[in-house]
Structure 1
């Protein structure tokens, strides 16, 4: 997907969460390790909720911010999760899945931090800041849940 505006960025983020939810759900059906299977099921639900939450930003964001060009995105390394879900998580253990998920979320957070300081107008900066807060909060919540599962 080509990202040119903040609207594109939000849509890309929504699609990323949707793709992850679908992939986690698909891999959970083939995961043999009980803890890893439970983690994948939780992650699928978590990512599906994030998809809907991010989609709400498209509906309520300031049109001025949504239509602002994101020039600096082009120089940022793109985030590429498993493009086609060919069961990568079905073969991973609990810890490997956790590391992979946190790596993806950290990349999204880093992208938003990068863009926050480069937004040309205050409305776009506020939009990116809100998306950043959402991703940081959800990553923290995810970390707490995974740590609880790890303790079981």
Structure 2
């Protein structure tokens, strides 16, 4: 994959969250349990909100920062993998949660890797801030899922 400006990477992060939402919708369509469907709807909403948050970040970020080129590349194509993922019917809720954590962790690790490889403190701080935000959202998700599972 080629080098990209931060703006394009943020759009890629948006695409990942949109792909997660689409994947959870596809899984929900195959579910029979109302509780599982409710959880998957919650997960879809979480991903749509993440897309909106990235949009707001792009709108308010310093244009000079957004146009700064990353000094490293990445070969991940998470949205494509989500679109092509074969789903087994009635996947268990535990498997759905494990899949969600795996996908989120891949995205977080990619952002952390790019932050660590950044050559300016501004890029490092911006990407590191996104990593911390994603991690906080993931913790909140786990907390909410545990509450739902306990019901």
Relative to structure 1, is the Cα distance of residues 89 and 8 closer, same or farther in structure 2, using a 3 angstrom cutoff?
farther
Relative to structure 1, is the Cα distance of residues 63 and 139 closer, same or farther in structure 2, using a 3 angstrom cutoff?
same
How far the C-alpha of 1:125 sits from its partner, in A, is 1.5
Report the equivalent of 1:115.
Answer: 114
Relative to structure 1, is the Cα distance of residues 3 and 12 closer, same or farther in structure 2, using a 3 angstrom cutoff?
farther
Report the equivalent of 1:125.
Answer: 124
Q: Does 1:49 align with 2:49?
A: yes
TM-score, length of structure 1 as denominator length: 0.86
Relative to structure 1, is the Cα distance of residues 70 and 140 closer, same or farther in structure 2, using a 3 angstrom cutoff?
same
How far the C-alpha of 1:84 sits from its partner, in A, is 2.0
Report the equivalent of 1:32.
Answer: 32
TM-score, length of structure 2 as denominator length: 0.86
How far the C-alpha of 1:29 sits from its partner, in A, is 3.1
Report the equivalent of 1:80.
Answer: 78
Q: In structure 1, what is the Cα distance between the partners aligned to 2:11 and 2:72?
A: 17
How far the C-alpha of 1:136 sits from its partner, in A, is 0.7
Unaligned 5+ segments in structure 1 are none
Partner SS for 1:127: helix
Report the equivalent of 1:14.
Answer: 14
Unaligned 5+ segments in structure 2 are none
Relative to structure 1, is the Cα distance of residues 86 and 31 closer, same or farther in structure 2, using a 3 angstrom cutoff?
farther
Q: In structure 2, what is the Cα distance between the partners aligned to 1:103 and 1:19?
A: 14
How far the C-alpha of 1:117 sits from its partner, in A, is 1.8
Relative to structure 1, is the Cα distance of residues 87 and 117 closer, same or farther in structure 2, using a 3 angstrom cutoff?
closer
Report the equivalent of 1:137.
Answer: 136
Q: In structure 1, what is the Cα distance between the partners aligned to 2:2 and 2:114?
A: 16
Partner SS for 2:118: coil
